[in-house]
Amino acid sequence: MAAPGLELLFSLESRGFSKPQDPLICFIHWELVSSGLHCFGRGEKAGEQDTGSERLPDGWGDNKELYTLRYGTDASRFLLKALTVEGTLIVNIMDLRSEKVCDLTLDVAVYVDSAHLQQYDRVYKSPSHLRRLLHSDLIAPLLGTKEERKASSEQEQGPPNRDPLRVPPRVTGGWRTPPGDLPYGAADLDPLGGRSGGMIMDPFHAGRSRPRIDPTMGFPPGSVPPGARFDPLGPLGARQPGPDPDHLPPPGYDDMFM
């Protein structure tokens, strides 16, 4: 099945069909347009006032041996050349920016019934196969698949409704400290009370793993000569003491009458 809209284009152009390759060019043109391209005219040279259109330009079929059409988007331009050689149509499309080229050779008699050039419902043979062939050999290599084009467009536009001033939504499960930051005040910022501690700064980074200090090595480590008698500095145990929650009690906290 051909892309929707081809029948309307065919009705506008079929009066000028005189060779079997004419409706084939019409089919190829509409597949390119349906893939997001517009036609910017015929010939290799761009005009001063080229405007993209879904229709074929005037005079596109004047040369039955070589069809030359220009296509593109706002950011890219493509040149299509279709050469007729002994019953075949050699289709060549080049990306003018990257100079990437894709080509395809079609047996005209396999896809077009030359006895019904003006009858849309009878002129095309195996339109579904022709459409798949055009997309796999010409359109996808140049433009990417439909899914790839959609993903690329969404990436250029950015996330929908993204407001740079909006605060990101809270992660389910409570406040999470950003990686690499010390959790000072995390308990006061967590509305669910999932943390302990308070606003007291912990110079020993309580709660984090750290190497044990060998008291026999002196301070700084290595300051005691080997074999020397040395009373270890202390108290040093398996872990450094954390801050005492009562270091900064509120005024009168121990007054039973308050």
What is the secondary structure of 70-81 as a DSSP string? EEE-SS-EEEEE
Under 8 Å between Cβ of 50 and 69:
no
Closest CA to 28 of 94, 109, 82: 82
pLDDT in tens, 188-246: 665 555 555 555 555 555 555 555 555 555 556 666 666 666 565 555 544 555 556 55
pLDDT in tens, 244-255: 655 667 777 777
Residue 205 has a pLDDT of: 53
pLDDT in tens, 9-35: 999 999 999 999 999 999 999 999 999
Task: Please enumerate in sequence order all residues whose Cβ is within 8 A of that of 68, keeping only pairs 6 or more positions apart, or say none.
Answer: 42, 43, 44, 79, 80, 81
H-state helical runs in the chain: 6-13, 21-34, 108-111, 120-123, 127-134, 140-143, 146-157, 186-189
Task: Please enumerate in sequence order all residues whose Cβ is within 8 A of that of 161, keeping only pairs 6 or more positions apart, or say none.
Answer: none
CATH of 6-147, one of 3.40.1000.30, 3.40.50.300, 3.40.50.200, 3.10.20.30: 3.40.1000.30
Q: What residue ranges do the domains of the chain occupy?
A: 6-147
DSSP letters for 94-118: EETTT--EEEEEEEHHHHB-GGGTT
Residue 1 has a pLDDT of: 63
Residue 75 has a pLDDT of: 84
Residue 94 tokens, joined: 């080049």
pLDDT (average), residues 163-189? 58
Report residue 85: phi and psi, to 5°.
-140, 105
Under 8 Å between Cβ of 63 and 78:
no
Residue 63 tokens, joined: 């040369």
Residues linked to residue 66 through DSSP beta bridges, in sequence order:
83
Coil, strand or helix at 244: coil
The reply to whether the predicted model has a pTM over 0.75 is: no
Cα–Cα dist 118/4, whole Å: 18
Residue 254 has a pLDDT of: 73
**Which one has a higher pLDDT value, 142 or 173?**
142
- Rounded mean pLDDT of the chain? 78
Residue 255 has a pLDDT of: 72
Cα–Cα dist 212/112, whole Å: 85
> How many C-beta atoms surround the C-beta of residue 135 within 10 A?
17
Tell me: pLDDT of 97 over 80: yes
